[in-house]
Amino acid sequence: MSRKNSNPFSRRAFLGTAASIGALAATGRANAQSVLDSLINAPERGNWDDQFDGNSSRQAVAVVSNNPVLGPSAVSNISQAISDYQMIVANGGWPMVDGSQKLRLGSVDPTVRNLRQRLIVAGDLPQSAGVSDAYDSYVDGAVKRFQGRHGLPEDGVLGEYTLKAMNITADVRLAQLNTNLKRLQEMSPDLGQRYVMVNIPAAYIEAVENDRVALRNTAIVGRISRPTPILDSKIYEVILNPYWTSPRSIIQKDIMPLMRKDPEYLTKNNIRLFDAKGTEVDPSTVDWNAEKAPNLMFRQDPGANNAMASTKINFHNQYSVYMHDTPQQGLFNKLMRFESSGCVRVQNVRDLITWLLRDTPGWSRQQIEAVIQSRQNNPIELTQEVPVHFVYITAWSAKDRVVQFRDDIYKMDGANELALNTTSGIEQISGSVEDDQVPQQ
């Protein structure tokens, strides 16, 4: 898949004209409630409430679909979402939700009324659930559905991140949808029969075949200071038990300081030094206090503490990034998965490479596992290259009128509110360096 425009992200113009929810308060409580009632009862809501019944409303309604983010219906689906959100904005938006009380299932509090109205307006709670002070099973299921649509843990608790996402105004969300419509329109529809998509702000990967998602993998992508680039390429190689060769920038920024602190760092992590002739160099002969890094190759042997663990996935690109496994599997459980140096770490990477190597003879899952266990370096050239697309989509709809939003981690959407949920604190990385390219002893 290719892009018609390599920099489609200046979209601040979309933010200026939509109606503000603040107008509700200015017109008085009674009038505000009247506007909300009009919106909730509007015939244009169509089938938003049809997705609920007496059972499904008591649990999180599924928001995940096997329709891909970049599928053939992507533009029409987000256009429908824009139409829905235009109606919401035109009718005054949704009420702000009070976060002074930590609400959860079983809570009874007057602030639940605004929460119920907020969920009804966006289609997460059926109108038939009514408006009351009770945080009942209907509200619990609706909050979980809202959380699922925003990439948050579906725990039904109105915590900090859920509250922040909930109190982004409808006009800002509408602008976000318009921004992403433009991005989708500027992409070529030629995706390929089989392709891999990395959605950077969502921090996950889709393996797509015949316009259906065959596999989804959680990912860790670049932090703000070292962002993952937007690109289109083709996967041509999978390396089992890869050597890791450090880029010079990593040697200068990270390994040199680590060696000053611990002269045994390279040895502990099975990293060996080689000169231009391929001769191994003893680390003790290097001046680690020098201003510039030595002109040597830093290569880590395959093994349990290799920075890429079992697997590296290669594709041609000008940024020298790739996809890979990691020995730090616990990082996939984090909400904020924006911590790499630009490369993409893949959870359950062996599922993905099994899918990639399906048409390459001699590489069943059993054979892949056997080679990984051998700890022997083994590059595999794909018989059929697979397109890969790194994209930046923060709003989309891949299921009937179920609209997904993600945080604008790289601040490309033009509204500061959209970056609030994930930009706070994620640069404060624990330890000396937490990096997808630097082994941690």
- Active-site residues, by number, are 324, 343
Q: Give CA–CA dist 356/350, Å, rounded.
A: 10
Give yes or no for a contact between 55 and 371, defined as CB atoms under 8 angstroms apart: no
- Contact in structure between 227 and 384 (CB atoms under 8 Å): no
Return the bridge partners of 332, or none: none
Q: Which residues contact 134 (CB under 8 A, 6 or more apart)?
A: 107, 108, 112
CB 341 within 8 A of CB 307: no
Rg (CA), the chain: 25
Beta bridge partners of 233: 388
Q: Are 40 and 123 in contact (CB under 8 A)?
A: no
- What are 248's two structure tokens? 């010079």
* Residues 209, 107 contacting (CB under 8 angstroms): no
Q: How far apart are CA 18 and CA 94, in angstroms?
A: 13
Structure tokens at 13: 């113009």
